[in-house]
Amino acid sequence: MSLPPDQVAHARAVADAILYEGYLLYPYRQSSRKNQARFQFGVLMPPAYAAVDANEPSASQTECLAECAGDARVQILLRFLHVQQRLVQAAADPAGWREVPVLNVAGTEFTRFTEATEREERADLAVASLGGAGAELPFHVDGGEIAEDLTDARGTVAGRLIHRWDALDGVLRVQADRVAGPYQALRLRVRVENRTEPGGPLAAREDGLRCALVAAHTLIGIPGGSFISMTDHPEWAAEAVAACTNVGTWPVLAGPAGRRDLVLSSPVILYDHPEIAPESAGDLFDATEIDEILTLRTMALTDEEKREARATDPRAADLIDRLDALPREMLERLHGAIRYLEPGAGPVTGSPGSRASPPADAAGAPAGPLPGPAAAGPFPGAAADDIPVFQTPSGPWWDPGADSSVSPETDHVVIGGVAVARGSRVRMRPGSRRADAQDLFLIGREALVEAVLHDVDGQVHVAVSPAGDPVAELQRSHGRFLYFAPDELEPIGAEPPADEPEHGNGNPRCGRGDSNPHGVSTNRT
């Protein structure tokens, strides 16, 4: 029994984004310092590299829970990138080759670069065989090289690319046991270890990367079984989930929503059933960034910068060409998407059960079509006459001034019985919810309240400027402040108001963000 191919393909699409996360970074040129320090996620170095940097691991471990029969099977797909060197050689006379840093053939430029190729290792094991010490599955990748000829417009070989890689050795260790208790859930452990012994000394990270498993992750399936979510698990599984030890990776339910027989264990923390946004026009190798921003920045590169990017790597060349030819309608799709809508509380015209009339403009003509389909209701079992009316915002969602029900400069929040608003003096007490090293310098310092903000979840955030800050005026002109939760502030010199609620007006609204640990994000997905 195997998992449905479409389900695996769905999960692999997300896994591919993880595999190439950080492979190339904007502006996609190897002369950029960012692209000289790549491969940051899921890197399993050879054990010998610990002498260079003990913080780089050589193994990762996934532990998760599943419900399955005793005769079930576990299917594992380990995927990673294998770093290889690309060298450029020009044809020399007489028949020979000369290594060069750059070669132009038929109008296309080629340069030396550190690239990578995909590797996969598979396992199909019976759950009954994984008790005790479990199974240990070694794998090996031979070192080698291949040559790729480069021909000019006349078909003459003008040069070649040499792709060279080192050998790799590793082991996949799988073990399973039943959790104590009436539910008898299966605790599954999948450990990936790099056991490569480099052929020479390792002096720098570049040396270790040639023998590393990069962006290593696993797809783990139990056909006919059901994995338990690590973040949304039933109460009876809470203790067993908390006891799971995941090192350098995190398992989430994968594939279409509703399926629970496949997990993706990724070095990048994801939510259950992650998906690639349908608006995405293709991989930008930085899946945690915003596609629209990266697309616009890439399109704004100069011709010389694009030429260098194309010469850096074939994937960079494809990315540049794809974005240069991106249709306007595709670019507009990147600007934003609403994944769900909830019925608004606006009035419905007409008698009960009749269709609502569309809003009219000043001349009385319909201003637009009704939301939702015309022939059928938007929900299962709903008829066309049951289409709900959705409220349309009067202004852009990202503009704080678009919602007249909130006013960051005049709203207030009650802290310890004292109304705190713009102009109030407070003392900063960070750390009641979260803190970092920078907060140590703020504890007990006085600050001036600049605004009281409400985010889309109804949480209150207070924007402040530290008293005596020499750049406060400049920061204020840019709208850059420190942000605190109300319980992280202590009012100074104010009298409590009479019968005020503790949470201000409670209207949800996004405030401005900052790059500090108390920033409020205005992004909506």
pLDDT for 248-297, tens place per residue?
999 999 998 889 999 999 998 899 999 888 888 788 887 666 788 888 88
Position 502 confidence tier, pLDDT thresholds 50, 70, 90: very low
Residue 378 belongs to a domain: no
Which range has the worst mean pLDDT, 93-107, 139-153, 218-232, 306-320? 93-107
**pLDDT of res. 341:** 53
Same domain, 324 and 411: no
Q: Average pLDDT of 216-223? A: 96
Question: Residue 166 is encoded by which pair of tokens?
Answer: 């080192």
**pLDDT of res. 441:** 82
Rounded to the nearest integer, the mean pLDDT of the chain is 81
Residue 419 belongs to a domain: yes
Same domain, 316 and 441: no
Same domain, 178 and 290: yes
Same domain, 120 and 215: yes
Question: Residue 319 is encoded by which pair of tokens?
Answer: 């990315």
Alpha carbon distance 235, 242 (integer Å): 11
Secondary structure (3-state) at 477:
helix
**pLDDT of res. 388:** 41
Same domain, 304 and 441: no
**pLDDT of res. 408:** 80
Domain that holds residue 514: 407-525
Alpha carbon distance 232, 251 (integer Å): 12
**pLDDT of res. 262:** 96
**pLDDT of res. 1:** 61
Q: Average pLDDT of 328-351? A: 61
Q: How many CB atoms are closer than 10 A to CB 171? A: 16
In eight-state DSSP terms, residue 247 is B
- Decide which of 286 and 69 is more confident: 69
- Report how far apart the first and last C-alpha atoms of the chain are (Å, whole number): 37
**pLDDT of res. 338:** 66
CB burial of 441-477 (b: ≥16 within 10 Å; e: otherwise) equals ebeebebbbbbbbbeeeeebbbbbbbeeeeebeebee
458 contacts 506 by C-beta, under 8 angstroms: yes
C-alpha triplet 484, 488, 490: angle, nearest 5°: 115
Q: Is 390 exposed, middle or buried (0-12, 13-18, 19+ CB in 10 A)?
A: middle
Residue 344 belongs to a domain: no
pLDDT beyond 50 at 387: no
Domain boundary among 272, 303, 328: 328
Same domain, 322 and 453: no
**pLDDT of res. 361:** 45
Residue 517 belongs to a domain: yes
Residue 349 belongs to a domain: no
Same domain, 322 and 414: no
Domain boundary among 300, 328, 356: 328
Instruction: Indicate which CATH number applies to the domain containing 428.
Output: 2.30.30
Question: Residue 362 is encoded by which pair of tokens?
Answer: 């000043």
pLDDT beyond 70 at 508: no
Position 432 confidence tier, pLDDT thresholds 50, 70, 90: low
Residue 245 belongs to a domain: yes
C-alpha triplet 137, 143, 145: angle, nearest 5°: 145
**Within 13 A of 243's CA, how many CA atoms are on the CB side?**
13
Domain boundary among 328, 359, 394: 328
Question: Residue 179 is encoded by which pair of tokens?
Answer: 């959790």
Q: Which residue, among 264, 231, 227, 221, has the nearest Cα to 11 in the 3D structure?
A: 264
Rounded to two decimals, the pTM is 0.66
Q: Average pLDDT of 380-386? A: 39
Residue 375 belongs to a domain: no
283 contacts 319 by C-beta, under 8 angstroms: yes
pLDDT beyond 60 at 172: yes
**pLDDT of res. 33:** 82
Q: What is the CA radius of gyration of the chain?
A: 29
Same domain, 301 and 438: no
Q: Average pLDDT of 376-388? A: 38
464 contacts 481 by C-beta, under 8 angstroms: yes
Number of domains composing the chain: 2
**pLDDT of res. 405:** 65
Same domain, 180 and 69: yes
In eight-state DSSP terms, residue 131 is S
**pLDDT of res. 148:** 93
57 contacts 229 by C-beta, under 8 angstroms: no
**Within 13 A of 185's CA, how many CA atoms are on the CB side?**
21
Residue 346 belongs to a domain: no
Query: What does the longest C-alpha to C-alpha distance in the chain come to?
Result: 96
Same domain, 421 and 309: no
Q: Which residue, among 275, 326, 313, has the nearest Cα to 25 in the 3D structure?
A: 313
Q: Percent of the chain, pLDDT > 90? A: 52
pLDDT for 392-424, tens place per residue?
445 554 455 556 667 787 888 999 889 999 999
List phi, psi (to 5°) of 316: -65, -40
Q: Which residue, among 202, 168, 163, has the nearest Cα to 80 in the 3D structure?
A: 168
C-alpha triplet 76, 12, 23: angle, nearest 5°: 105
Which range has the worst mean pLDDT, 144-148, 222-226, 274-278, 404-408? 404-408
Position 37 confidence tier, pLDDT thresholds 50, 70, 90: confident
C-alpha distance from residue 429 to each of 171, 360, 414, 423, 460 (Å): 49, 52, 16, 18, 16
Strands (E), 68-210: 73-92, 96-100, 102-105, 108-111, 113-126, 135-141, 144-151, 157-165, 168-178, 186-194
- Decide which of 191 and 372 is more confident: 191
What residues form DSSP beta bridges with 363?
Answer: none
Same domain, 193 and 91: yes
* Region for 240 from its dihedrals, namely left if φ exceeds 0, alpha if ψ lies in -120 to 50, beta otherwise: alpha
Secondary structure (3-state) at 506:
coil
pLDDT for 81-93, tens place per residue?
999 999 999 998 7
Position 515 confidence tier, pLDDT thresholds 50, 70, 90: very low
In eight-state DSSP terms, residue 240 is H
**pLDDT of res. 403:** 60
Same domain, 122 and 212: yes
* Region for 305 from its dihedrals, namely left if φ exceeds 0, alpha if ψ lies in -120 to 50, beta otherwise: alpha
